[in-house]
Structure 1
Amino acid sequence: MVHVWPLALHDGELTLRPLRRRDRTDFDRLRARNADWLRPWDASDPDRGRAGIDFRTLRRWNEQQARLGTHLPLAITLRGGAVIGQITAGPIQYGALRTAVLGYWIDREAAGRGLVPRSVALVIDHLFAELGLHRIEVTVRPENTASLRVVEKLHLRSEGMRRAAIHVDGAWRDHLVFALTAEEVATGDDGRGVLRRLQYEFPSDTPTT
């Protein structure tokens, strides 16, 4: 299994790809427009509080970590258009662990259309089929009902609560832990497993074109 960067993952009108320099204006507008929507779920620094996201710094860090193979940071886009969210796998650990943690967010105007579950499924299938990982983990605040619905759709197992696990929105917050291992998914020769199961069970999330 070989980590390749840059890469793009596709499903119908949905494309996951690296951030590009020309995304800066649209990305900054997207974050500003969704500030209140994302505030309860954004990680924060216990010493410095909430720091604004500088696009140039973010993109540079993404590129460095992606080329090292420690993270897989991708922008969520529709039909090759502007960025509407992000999904990141990281840290990616090999050796005896072969695991990764997923995080994601999406534009409020695009929420509720099945795009996040499809994005998560695409990334998990890539991590299992192409990178040979064994376990994927997602942590969710108990209050985040939208994200809880995502892990439910994808059949991630609940593994309990981590108390005061991550500093989010200015305080140490409890997080529920969900996980999936490669043995729990029937992956086809095309590398699709989680995505195929999602679209079979939720056909309304399947792209129409």
Structure 2
Amino acid sequence: MRHVPYWPVTLEHGDIILRPIRQQDRSEWTAVRQRNREWLQPWEASNPVPGGRLPSYRDMVSSLKTQAKQGSALPFVITERQSPGRVPPIVGQLTVSNILWGSAMMATLGYWVDRDRAGRGIVPTAVALATDFCFQELGLHRMEINIRPENTPSLRVVEKLGFRYEGLRPAFLHIDGVWADHHSFALTAEEVPEGLLRRWVAAR
């Protein structure tokens, strides 16, 4: 592992802002999650250990901050400017995880968004911002996204951004209580020399 330069970092485009997740976000983050429980539940990671539970918010943020310091993750919340003078509210979360250095220079990206904000280009913009940061600032070579075959909204995100389909991974992750198949998508830095955000904005 290695230290990630420029972290913590805030990334912005238009009204979309990615900033590091914080312990003081707990109340707002929890409220968004509870409001979207039915929307998010089918795609939620679960603990396959009998009787196992997912970590609390406090433990999750503490673990993510440690991973960020070690250079293995970039934990963001997605916020959106809505009214002048008001603090942009949390509308989702995006985490770059499993960062591998050395000969791999790759990472995995995951995200969720408030159902009321879905379909407005927020997630593609956030994914493009994070991917460009990883490629252009950190020097990573490959970004991977794994999605349940039934998760149509997320499949639309990688389609819009031009991530390349690489195949089906049977029983890849434990999701909502079962080992679930995932479609795997990837993009390399050479495929977006102009930057993924610039390509996404031009295509809209």
TM-score, normalisation: structure 1: 0.90
Number of the residue aligned with 1:156 = 163
What 5-or-longer segments of structure 1 have no aligned partner?
A: 188-192, 203-209
Number of the residue aligned with 2:196 = 194
How far apart, in 2, do the equivalents of 1:27 and 1:53 lie? 15
Please list the CA deviations of residues 94-135 of structure 1 after superposition, one character each: whole Å capped at 9, or x if unmatched. 100000000000111111110000000000000000000011
> How many residues were matched structurally?
197
Number of the residue aligned with 2:74 = 72
Number of the residue aligned with 1:100 = 107
Question: Is structure 2 residue 140 aligned with structure 1 residue 122?
Answer: no
* C-alpha displacement of 1:22: 2.6
TM-score, normalisation: structure 2: 0.92
Please give the root-mean-square deviation of Cα atoms over the aligned residues, in Å.
Answer: 1.5
* Contact in 1 for aligned 2:4/2:69 (Cα 8 Å): no
1:1-12 alignment runs, 5 A limit: 3-12=5-14
* C-alpha displacement of 1:31: 1.1
How far apart, in 2, do the equivalents of 1:181 and 1:137 lie? 9
* C-alpha displacement of 1:72: 0.5
What 5-or-longer segments of structure 2 have no aligned partner?
A: 82-86
* Contact in 2 for aligned 1:85/1:105 (Cα 8 Å): yes
Number of the residue aligned with 2:150 = 143
Structure 1 segments of 4+ aligned residues over 3 angstroms from their partners: 48-53
Please list the CA deviations of residues 17-50 of structure 1 after superposition, one character each: whole Å capped at 9, or x if unmatched. 0122331111111111111111110111111467
Of 66, 79, 89, the match for 2:96: 89
